[in-house]
Structure 1
Amino acid sequence: MMTREKHTRRAVQMLSVLVLAGLLGACGKKGEATASPGDATAASAAKAASPRASAEVNPALTVSTVLPETAAWPVAVAANGSIAAWQEASVGAEVGGLRLERVLVEVGDSVRKGQVMAVLRQDSVRSEVALSKAALTEAEAMLAEAKANAARARSLQPTDMISKQDALRATTAEQTATARVDSMRAQLAVNQLRLAQTEVVAPDDGVVSGRTATVGAVVQPGQELFRLVRRNRLEWRAEVAAADLHRIKSGMVARLAAAGGPALTGKVRTVAPTVDANTRSGLVYVDLDAEGVKTSGVKPGMFANGQFDIGQAQGLTVPQTAVQLRDGFAYVFRVGSDNKVAMTKIQVGRRMSDRVEVLKGLDASTPVVASGVGFLTDGDTVRVVAAPASTSTPASGVTSAVAR
């Protein structure tokens, strides 16, 4: 019995040792499995931190910088308006009741002062001229007879061979005949003038811009038959904002272009004394250069955009390649002493060639990235190099940034 109990106790002890050993082994494996993800996380963090540190050291771009330049730029006032005839002449008939027999010009024809443009029927007027001439001849004959009778009466009156009444009658007849001759001469002049007016002539040099004359129509006095652009002289009626009217003076040069055609030049003739209450703009009348009008082919009624040359003013400028537009605003990238760029908002003004005027936000001593600004963001580190002489220009002295 004692032997069996000893064997049983020993078996239980051995089984307990085996179970304890198994439990200890399982705990060791679980600890190893738990520690493994932590080591991987640390390794990943180390790997993730490595590129960031590398980015802080390596620059994003190799760029060249440029300093803003001060330049004298022309100052201009922009305007737009219509091209119109300087003056238009209305050409019409001066006599009425006559039929239009011939029309000698068409719209677009150039005419000279005194040139015949249309002819009215002249038969009836010529007859009236002939009648007036005959009546004048009769009146002159009667005047000659009256003069002779009056001279005889004046010579006989001192001898009392003729009564005073007869002498007065002869003198009166002479005066009446003289008046009749003057009347017939005036009537003849009127009829000759009417005959001349049957020819409708141009009152001045110019171009025919309108025609209502129709062959066979009976015209009335004052009826318009043609419209004429006097001397083919055109003007630009520019609409200028009221705030800028005081800057424009007579004699200033204006430059404009109409309908995509070549540029025209002109000189300010006058500035309107009033301003439109609705648009708050005033008219500036500009005489266009005659040779430019011929070569450009502009016509009255065309719309034109242009500007008035006011003078020159100093302005701070940068290359257009240094300016980036984002969300409707303009920015440049300033380069600090640590070679980091700072995106700076600026206000731009005029543009000329490859330069942009900076009105606000930048001073002349601040270097900015010359080009390639589209690849940069605020705070990037860059490598600054000198601009190659082969690609720099006198106006800007900059080159494009090179992507690294």
Structure 2
Amino acid sequence: MLHKKPLLLAGALCAMTLSLGACSGKDDKGGNRAAQVGFVVVREEAVPITTALGGRTVAFETSEVRPQVNGIIRQRLFTEGGTVRAGQPLFQIDASLYKAAVDQAAANLASARASAQAAEEKAKRFEPLAKMQAVAEQDYTDALAQARVARAAVAQSAASLETARINLRYSTITAPIGGHIGRSLVTPGALVSASQATPLAVIQRTDPMYVDIQQSAADMTRLRQSLASGGVTAGSTSVRLKLEDGSDYGLPGTVQFSEVTVNEATGTVTLRARFPNPSGLLMPGMFVTALFDQAVNPAAMLVPQAAVQRDFDGSAFVYLVGKDNKAERRKVEADRTVGANWVVTGGLKPGDRVITQGVGNLKQGSAIKPVPATSPQRVGAPAGKSADKSAATKGQ
């Protein structure tokens, strides 16, 4: 009985050894079992080069309301923070002096017209008398000259009257443009002048809205060189926005133009885009992120992110289905992502089978059993282990 226990222990160890052997990656002949992997076949396709740049919103139109005549503000005629239309009265300046100036100019014009009429009549009477030599020729010439001077005085008085009327009209300050008006920077009773530096109020038109985008001059130069060499093609002028809270602005915009001068302080070039803003969600001065396809790479390849791995030096590599179903490691150029894929611009060629599933334990030259990545992958214990477990259950 004492000799039976070691024999039973040895038998159990032997059974465990056989079971572990069945679970290992060894086949019946002692060779390595090929690991099943999923792959995708890569192909060239046009991939947009999406650029994300910071920018600021700018009102489509801005007007600083300023007085054009001097005087005391008698009344504010608008609601602060509201919307005004072009030509709407905003402030009323005391118009007493300007009304008096209009009356004076009108009286001067009437006097000038009366003098002109008298001078013209005198010249008409002298004309036949001069022909009969009843008056001296010089007297007739002087009469004609006085009539012309009187007509000029009438024109001067008419211009003075028009100036007085314009000044009277300027005593009512109106909105130069339509839009949202801010707070009033003056109050009734304040003295204003045509030469003052401070505006009375500011009006901004915010629909549509501009977005000024800053791009590095170096990046723009590289893009232009790539476009010139044919490496990439021109992208779309459509722009999308992300707001400060990370949400997307629902309406797309359009790039209007790019400045031709580099900002010496920042080394950037300003691009201006235009966005519709019917709901007023965009306000002047907001920081936003502009996303747009500045160019298109016509010969890029998209590889699922799960397939691309990084080496110690940061370089990217993938495993391919190589000759005789062996894993082949290859370095690639993958600098950016699009959705769930890496954009590979070097290292692959159309038709390569890139392994996307089961890459965790692969090595160069490992035996593999490739299947398309869309095929169902086996999940669970290896078949050998399941068989051993079933046999052990039956043995009990």
Match of 1:304 among 278, 282, 288: 288
Sequence identity (%): 25
Q: 1:360 to 1:209 in 2, by over 3 A?
A: farther
C-alpha separation between the residues in 2 aligned to 1:88 and 1:130? 36
Q: Establish whether residue 228 from structure 1 lines up as the match of residue 203 from structure 2.
A: yes
Deviation at 1:314, TM superposition (A): 2.2
Superposed, 1:215-364 pairs within 5 Å as: 215-223=188-196, 224-229=199-204, 232-246=207-221, 247=223, 252-259=236-243, 260-286=247-273, 288-290=274-276, 293-295=277-279, 297-305=281-289, 306-323=291-308, 332-334=318-320, 346-364=332-350
After superposition, the Cα gap between the structure-2 partners of 1:334 and 1:185, relative to the gap in structure 1 and judged at 3 Å, is closer
How far apart are the structure 2 equivalents of 1:199 and 1:365? 76
Between structures 1 and 2, the one with greater helix share: 1
Q: Which amino acid aligns with 1:187?
A: S
Q: How many angstroms apart in 2 are the aligned matches of 1:195 and 1:239?
A: 46
After TM superposition, the structure 1 = structure 2 runs for residues 43-54 of structure 1, keeping only pairs within 5 Å, are 51=20
Confirm or deny: 8 A CA contact 1:255 1:266 kept in the other structure: yes
With over 3 angstroms needed to count, the CA separation of the structure-2 counterparts of 1:145 and 1:231, relative to structure 1, is farther
Q: Distance in 2 between matches of 1:226 and 1:369?
A: 65
Aligned to 2:97: 124
Q: Give 5+ residue unaligned stretches, structure 1.
A: 1-39, 388-395
Q: Deviations over 1:344-366 (max 9, x none)?
A: 66543443343332344555555
The amino acid that maps onto 1:397 is T
* Equivalent position of 1:8 in the other structure: none
Residues 255 and 264 of structure 1 are in contact (CA less than 8 Å); yes or no, is this contact kept in structure 2?
no
What is the rounded CA distance, in whole Å, between the counterparts of 1:358 and 1:332 in structure 2? 11
Q: Structure 1 residues 275, 159: CA separation in 2 closer, same or farther (over 3 Å shift)? A: closer
Residues in 2 aligned to 1:166 and 1:280: alpha-carbon distance in whole angstroms: 78
The yes-or-no answer on 1:57 pairing with 2:41 is no
Aligned CA RMSD, in angstroms, stands at 4.2
Distance in 1 (CA, whole Å) between partners of 2:54 and 2:352 is 38
The correspondence for 2:83, drawn from 103, 109, 127, is 109
Q: Distance in 1 between matches of 2:122 and 2:295?
A: 84
Q: How many residues align?
A: 351
CA contact (8 A) 1:74 1:311 kept: yes
Q: Distance between the aligned counterparts of 2:191 and 2:235, measured in 1?
A: 48
Q: Could you tell me whether the CA contact under 8 Å between 1:83 and 1:301 is conserved in 2?
A: yes
Computing the radius of gyration from Cα coordinates, the structure with the larger value is 1
Q: Deviation per CA, 1:319-368, whole angstroms, max 9, x where unpaired?
A: 23434568766554545678776776654344334333234455555544
Shift in Å at residue 194 of structure 1? 0.7
CA distance, structure 1, for counterparts of residue 42 and residue 371 of structure 2: 16
> Aligned with 1:294: secondary structure?
coil
Cα deviations by residue, 1:356-386 (Å, 9 ceiling, x for unpaired): 3234455555544433545x46489787474
In the TM superposition, residue 122 of structure 1 has moved relative to its aligned partner by 1.9
TM-score (norm 1): 0.69
Alignment match, 1:16: none
Question: What residue is the counterpart of 1:93 in the other structure?
Answer: 67
Q: Distance in 1 between matches of 2:282 and 2:349?
A: 45
Question: Residues 299 and 345 of structure 2 are in contact (CA less than 8 Å); yes or no, is this contact kept in structure 1?
Answer: no
Distance 2:334 2:218 in 1: 21
The residue number in structure 2 matching 1:74 is 48
Q: Verify the 8 A CA contact 1:372 1:401 in the aligned structure 2.
A: no
C-alpha change, 1:333 and 1:123, in structure 2 (3 Å) is same
Greater CA deviation, 261-270 or 326-335? 326-335
For residues 144 and 231 of structure 1, do their structure 2 counterparts lie closer, same or farther at Cα, with a shift above 3 Å needed? farther
